[in-house]
Structure 1
Amino acid sequence: MRKLNWILALVLMVPAVVLAAGKTELTWYGHSAFKLTTPSGKVLLIDPWITNPANKNGKEDLAKLDKADLVLITHGHFDHVGNSVEIAKKTGAKLVSTFDLGKALATYGGYPEKQMGFDTQGNFGGELNLLDGEVKITFIPAIHSSTVVAPEGSADKDIHDGGNPGGFVVSVKNGPTIYHTGDTDVFSDMALIAKFDKVDVMLACIGGHFTMGPKRAAEAVRLVHPGMVVPMHYGTFPVLDGTPEAFGTALKKEGAKARLRVMKIGETLTF
């Protein structure tokens, strides 16, 4: 009888052990586009311009995306809205964005209105607990701009207000906490992020011209204190001429202690 009870207890423990052993995966598609897969297999896409010019396998990667639970969009510019509408229609993914951006994307940008609402819309400082509590998403401000245009081929040629731009801190249960800066300059209140969340991975724009370049991005890293920093939003267009090499040099000069991890397009990191 004791042996039977021991076996039963072991069997009951297996799901918890398997869940605890799950991994979080982070895939970069180039530019600012990432896929985050949680330990239970939930899929979050951030600024999913999968077919950006830097991703030579963009069309194939987009075709393979047959599952997405959430689409997170930092602001309304085309290079961040990207392929989100096509992905949403194919997968049923809900939109995570500010209310203003969500309204603009539904009204002018083609995102299915039924796939957004109070449960996945918020504003800066707000936190959402989603996917049965497996992820917490915090809305972070950014210094940039945000406009929305209608999909290509639409009769609407106007430029519409997309609310304020932002970024996200995504905390994964039994996984890492990831800060996606969106498009931004460095700002001193970035130091407050570390007051509330220990950032394991910072996805930092470094291209310059429209966002902070390597030197200013290094200062942003110093303020946030992440364990690792991954550069993004560089090299897609000629004007985005910030480089990981210049970023690495600037990190050393600033005394930022984060580990620099330069990802290749299509690469996946496992945590």
Structure 2
Amino acid sequence: MRPSARLTIAALAVLPLVGLAQGGPARAQPSKGGAATQAKGKTEITWYGHAAFVVKTPGGTVIAIDPWLSNPKAPEQGLADKLEKVDYILVSHGHFDHVGDAVAIGKRTGAKLVTNFELAQELVGAGYPKDAAGFETVGNLGGVIQAGDATVIMVPALHSSGFGDDKGQHPGGNPMGFVIKVKGGPTIYHTGDTDVTMDMKLIPERYGPVDVMLACIGGHFTMDPKGAALAASYVKAKTIVPMHFGTFPVLTGTPRELQAAVKAPTKVHVMEPGKMETL
């Protein structure tokens, strides 16, 4: 990362993620080898660029979300082969920049697939292990999935979907976001690709306030920083982490614009790709 980019992150990371769910800030420590490592009683999260995150719960459950780990902002290449353990893979919709390396990771780790029914069928057709993509974890909007010591709720996203491979284009089912309620830890909302919607107001009503919102801000294909700031107010997010920006030239929204648009008490925290932080 360029020195100027590091300075921007330092300026915008107004409240560290470490200790946030417990109400007190602390210092984040980078992980070794790129993958999150467990701290007793803590939830750990690593951003790998674009919309790709890996969450590790206090109980040791490893959840990969939209694992395009070979994206241009990834801290290194070959990460899909380096994650030592993945228990669940959450895919918000069928576009290549969100399916990413899900099939390869699923084949190698046997991670259970959490996504909508139609997309799961297409990913199985593309090689995802069938026995890891069954009714236990495949559902649709409103579905509640138990993922180790975390509960994953599939919530609406306003976007398109569709899965493409060397055989052509296939149905991608309903796009979605994920509310992840960690036992003894935070509530994390990964928006997937979406515009801001009034439906977001139902999230805190049904599932409680959001501790950490992982929000697309790039614009063009999703909501821009102003939309993301409004969405954060709808879900009563304590902290908003920007994602899905700068990967392609058309994704012009910036964390600085998000900072200008967000209203208290929500805080903006910019993560650095490959650096694990503790919730």
For Structure 1 versus Structure 2, the TM-score category normalised by the shorter chain is 0.7 to 0.9
Q: Is 1:96–1:116's contact at 8 Å kept on the other side of the alignment?
A: yes
Following superposition, the deviation at residue 98 of structure 1 comes to 1.1
Indicate conservation of the 8 Å contact 2:196/2:227, yes or no: yes
1:175 corresponds to 2:190: no
Which whole-Å CA distance do the structure 2 matches of 1:235 and 1:139 have between them? 26
**1:147 alignment partner in structure 2:** 162
Instruction: Note if contact 2:51-2:192 (Cα within 8 Å) is conserved in structure 1.
Output: yes
How many residue pairs match? The answer is 241
Change (3 A) 1:110 1:256: farther
**Is 2:75–2:274's contact at 8 Å kept on the other side of the alignment?**
no
Tell me how far apart the structure 2 counterparts of residues 216 and 256 of structure 1 sit (CA, whole Å). 15
SS at structure 2 position matched to 1:178:
strand
Per the alignment, residue 113 of structure 2 pairs with: 95
Amino acid across the alignment from 2:142: G
Match of 1:49 in 2: 68
Task: In structure 2, give the amino acid aligned to 1:226.
Answer: A
> Which among 151, 157, 178 is matched to residue 136 of structure 1?
151
Give 1:58 shift.
2.7
Aligned with 1:139: secondary structure? strand
Q: Aligned residue for 1:40?
A: 59
- Of structures 1 and 2, the larger Rg is shown by 1
Return the letter of the residue paired with 1:265: P
For residues 69 and 188 of structure 2, the distance between their equivalents in structure 1, rounded to whole angstroms, comes to 20
C-alpha separation in 2, matches of 1:128 and 1:243: 33
Which position in structure 2 is the counterpart of 1:27? 46
Structure 2 distance, partners of 1:137, 1:213, is 25
Q: Is contact 2:44-2:56 (8 Å) kept? A: yes
Aligned counterpart, 1:3:
none
Structure 2: distance between partners of 1:20 and 1:238: 37
Moved over 2 A (4+): none
Match of 1:240 in 2: 251
What is the alpha-carbon distance in structure 1 between the residues aligned to residue 97 and residue 128 of structure 2?
15
Contact 2:80 2:104 in 1 (8 A): no
- What's the RMSD between the two structures over aligned residues? 1.5
**What amino acid sits opposite 2:182 in the alignment?**
V
Query: What is the match of residue 221 of structure 1?
Result: 232
Contact 2:52–2:68 at 8 Å: present in 1 too? Answer: yes
Structure 2, unpaired ranges of 5+? 1-37
After superposition, give the CA deviation of every residue in 1:133-171 in whole Å (9 maximum; x if it has no partner). x11110001000010012xxx4x1x21110110000011
Pairwise CA distance, 1:128: 1.5
SS in 2 for 1:122: coil
| Corresponding letter in the other structure for 2:181 | S
Q: Write the distance in 2 (CA, Å) between the matches of 1:63 and 1:75.
A: 22
2:143 to 105, 126, 132: 126
Determine which of 94, 109, 129 is the counterpart of 1:112: 129
Q: Does residue 1:62 correspond to 2:72, yes or no?
A: no
Name 2:172's counterpart in structure 1: 162
Could you list the runs of 5+ residues in structure 1 that have no partner in the other structure? 1-18
Corresponding residue number in structure 2 for 1:269: 277
How far off is 1:62 after superposition?
2.5
> Matches of 1:100 and 1:145 in 2, distance apart?
13
